[in-house]
Amino acid sequence: MILDLAASIRERYHFTLEQIASAARRSGRSPEDVRLVVVTKSQPLEVVQAAIEAGVRILGENYPEEGVTKIQSIPPQSGVEWHMIGHVQSRKARLVAEHFALLHSLDSLKLAQRLDRFAAEQNRLLPVLLEFNVGGEESKSGWNASDESLWDAFLPDVEAIVDLPHLRVQGLMTMPPLTADPNDARRFFQRLRRLRDHLASLFPQADWHELSMGTSADYPVAVEEGATLVRVGTAIVGARKIKSEKEAL
| Interface with ligand PLP in residues 79-138 (CB under 6 A) | 85-86
Pick the closest to residue 107 from 138, 140, 146, 68 (CA basis).
140
Residues touching ligand PLP: how many (CB under 6 A)? 15
Q: Which residues of 75-108 are buried (b: 16+ CB within 10 A; e: fewer)?
A: eeeeebebbbbbbbeeebbbbbbbbbebbbbbbb
Angle subtended by helix axes 45-53 and 64-73, to nearest 10: 50
Cβ proximity to ligand PLP, 43 vs 146, nearer residue:
43
Q: Does 36 bind ligand PLP (CB under 6 A)?
A: no
| Interface with ligand PLP in residues 202-221 (CB under 6 A) | 215-217
Q: Does 41 bind ligand PLP (CB under 6 A)?
A: yes
Coil, helix or strand at residue 157: helix
Q: Does 62 bind ligand PLP (CB under 6 A)?
A: yes
Q: Does 233 bind ligand PLP (CB under 6 A)?
A: yes
Q: Does 39 bind ligand PLP (CB under 6 A)?
A: yes
Cβ proximity to ligand PLP, 90 vs 139, nearer residue:
139
Angle subtended by helix axes 45-53 and 2-26, to nearest 10: 60
Q: Does 64 bind ligand PLP (CB under 6 A)?
A: no
Q: How long, in residues, is the chain?
A: 249
Which residues would be at the binding site for ligand PLP (CB under 6 A)?
Answer: 39, 41, 62, 85-86, 175, 215-217, 231-235, 249
